């Protein structure tokens, strides 16, 4: 980012109406490089994340809000896991249905761990209704 360059983000539990040029108090004296942007980080889990010959990876497979801090890691790991399983299927070492089931289970178990941790963290700060 550079010594005199900052990035910030906030997470609203419900949509909030603030002026588009709103800044955290700590950054009020800084010059914005561009307009603030928004992303919908509603938790999403792809019900069918794999089948014979295909895998759904990255955020398309599992999307949790950035407080989970695993989005980039999951994107990389899901790509490499799907790649490894695809090679095993291509080599004849693994049946395509079994590869898909293995991937789906791996993806969902990881997501459930993150959901459990996130829900616990939000409960501790008084935000109910997660997980
Ligand atoms: C505000 C914010 C902060 C975050 N902070 C963190 C963090 O600190 N740590 C962390 O691990 N994760 C963080 N994440 C999550 C992380 O960014 C994502 O989990 C990760 O980028 C997912 O990678 P991906 O490759 O699956 O998807 P993306 O990075 O979204 O890449 C998908 C790409 O596909 C392109 N695309 C979409 N549709 C099409 C189309 N039809 N044709 C061609 N291209 C298309 C998009 O333009 C994009 O470039 C954050 C997310 C947000 C929104």
The DSSP symbol for 32 reads P
- Residues flanking ligand 1, CB < 6 Å: 9, 39, 41, 58-59, 66, 69-73, 75
Residue labelled with tokens 């980080």: 41
Note the pLDDT tens digit of each residue in 57-115. 999 999 999 999 999 999 999 999 999 999 999 999 999 999 999 999 999 999 999 99
User: Which single residue is written with the structure tokens 């109406």?
Assistant: 17
Q: Where are the domains of the chain?
A: 44-124
Name the pTM for this structure. Answer: 0.90
25-70 pLDDT per residue, tens: 888 888 888 888 889 999 999 999 999 999 999 999 999 999 999 9
Compute the chain's Rg from CA coordinates: 19
């Amino acid at each position: 980012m550079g010594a005199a360059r900052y990035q910030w983000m906030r997470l609203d539990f419900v949509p909030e109406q603030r002026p588009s040029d709103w800044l955290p108090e700590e950054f009020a004296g800084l010059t914005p490089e561009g307009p603030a942007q928004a992303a919908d980080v509603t938790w999403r889990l792809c019900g069918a994340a794999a089948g014979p010959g295909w895998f759904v990876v990255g955020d398309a497979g599992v999307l949790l809000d950035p407080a989970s801090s695993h989005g980039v890691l999951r994107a990389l790991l899901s790509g490499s896991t799907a790649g490894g399983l695809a090679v095993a299927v291509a080599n004849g070492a693994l049946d395509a249905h079994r590869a898909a089931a293995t991937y789906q289970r791996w993806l969902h178990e990881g997501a459930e761990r993150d959901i459990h941790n996130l829900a616990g963290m939000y409960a501790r700060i008084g935000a109910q209704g997660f997980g």
